Structure 1
């Protein structure tokens, strides 16, 4: 199969013939052509997209010595003539990103000897893994500076097919993974690299490189970056975000960090105040329930309370009455929860009581003789569960 994307990566449309179409083991329809300008996934670069006779190409893979164009639906079998159209924006973006990766990787290696051991071209960002355990900020800045200088100088980018013997004459950045059909991508006097991807014909077309961040991945450093038009896209996105934040925080862009810090601190203060208010309300609620409780067991059914609130409430009530037992039940849409506690002088076994309640609601829980809790399915009303608990408590 003739690979037009190697002959000219700037081809946007082409005419060819259908060899055959079939379906793979996942029942995905694909077409094999006499020649193609669609680049298949490989070497860290994603596949091209576009159309064949107006039908969308959703994936392109090289398998069993052929390039398979996966389609949204079958081509008309009566028409062997194929008109292909490449999604040029996607293709040129990949060309910019891939060439930018070559330049940045070469910059890291030339300045500091940092070798790139893997590369991934994602939909929004690119990553390279450097064979180092730490990346100083200054080294990242200097590598980015050199990469952009090479781009600005507009060096040619050459793609050349060579033999293994010819390849050995070049100062290759990494060892070749093949011994035949060797394709070198060359930026003269800067980078020599075996690569099967698509690239522009000059570094100036990459436009620029920007490192976004890096992190440690096992024993390597993963660098995140973008090139070319993606920088403008991210700049526009960030500009819109900072503009919205400026309005929301009523602060100019340069003051956004301090305005956000103040907002966070105020939020923390409000959370503390709210938590204190909740604690005070729980204490008041516990006192009211203790005062109102005439029986040995103080109990109540709630709706939609958190289990944490019930725990605090039960402990507060039990701490005010040394002889009383406390049973609190909470109803949600499809669950029942309960908390059992006893005062210091009570001899009731809350763990035993909890175990019997859990059997009634197919639940799970835990605790000890002083305090227990659990929850399960709403197989009865909260009031029915409470009444059952009170009868058990009276028997013990």
Structure 2
């Protein structure tokens, strides 16, 4: 049993039809889903699942990925195996996560190219995000420089490409994994690549926008020392420009 991950092929897909293939209490597995289950610091999607021509519906209150299957925990008794359902995510929340995740990739790329530092952790929230880096110096002058470079990259409107490569070919790319510890499972055969064309290239499983200008902009709100060579950067997004 394997769930087709529609968010992997198109992050802008917000609704899909699917079939229930397994039920475990209030958890259901579908043959396909638009719901991102969370991971890599990105929060799980929110939304609804409906069936019987929308006469029955339930909120998705939790998500988990077990091996190749995404399980959706409902707040209502689920339909039986074989039922056709419609899954609809909270689009505003998803798009905020897409913009935030893209902003963190830009930040990561800038710090790698400028200072050669690796990521030691990160987390996204509905209203902000933080990323930790293995670096010693993060004074005010450097913070201002980083913020300027990130916003310039956003404004440059680099396109994003998402594709997969065989593991051997992917790991032949220098610096593909930016985390200090390689978090990719050892048995993974294909690696999903997120490329900000002309700026950054990373292995990643989350959702992103199509062009950097969709991010809008960022402001670095604060930094913290999390160790002698571990610094935390916390940022918020600013709205995209209206044309």
TM-score normalized with structure 1 length: 0.54
Give CA deviations for 1:211-255 in whole Å, capped at 9, x if unaligned: 1000111331111112244x99xxxxxxxxxxxxxxxxxxxxxxx
How much does 1:173 deviate? 4.7
Structure 2 counterpart of 1:7, from 9, 12, 15: 9
Q: Does 1:50 align with 2:60?
A: no
Q: Does 1:225 align with 2:235?
A: yes
Alignment of 1:163-312 (within 5 A): 163-174=166-177, 177-178=184-185, 179-219=188-228, 220-229=230-239
Coordinate RMSD, CA, aligned:
2.0
Give CA deviations for 1:84-114 in whole Å, capped at 9, x if unaligned: 1110001000000001000011112212223
Unmatched runs of 5 consecutive residues or more in structure 1:
24-28, 233-396
Give CA deviations for 1:155-180 in whole Å, capped at 9, x if unaligned: 11111100123224534353652452
Aligned residues: 226
How much does 1:191 deviate? 0.6
Cα distance between partner residues in 1 of 2:150 and 2:67: 38
1:319 is aligned to none
Give CA deviations for 1:47-93 in whole Å, capped at 9, x if unaligned: 10100003111111101431110111112338701011110001000
Alignment of 1:246-395 (within 5 A): none
8 Å CA contact 2:97, 2:126 repeated in 1: no
8 Å CA contact 1:172, 1:194 repeated in 2: no
Cα distance between partner residues in 2 of 1:215 and 1:78: 49
1:88 is aligned to 91
Cα distance between partner residues in 2 of 1:195 and 1:163: 14
Shift >6 Å, 4+ stretches: none
Higher relative contact order (CA 8 A, sep 6+): 2
How much does 1:144 deviate? 1.1
How much does 1:136 deviate? 1.3
8 Å CA contact 2:21, 2:81 repeated in 1: no
SS of match in other structure, 2:35: coil
2:32 is aligned to 35
Q: 1:78 to 1:67 in 2, by over 3 A?
A: closer
Q: Does 1:98 align with 2:101?
A: yes
- Larger radius of gyration between Structure 1 and Structure 2: 1
Unmatched runs of 5 consecutive residues or more in structure 2:
51-56
TM-score normalized with structure 2 length: 0.86
Cα distance between partner residues in 1 of 2:175 and 2:215: 21
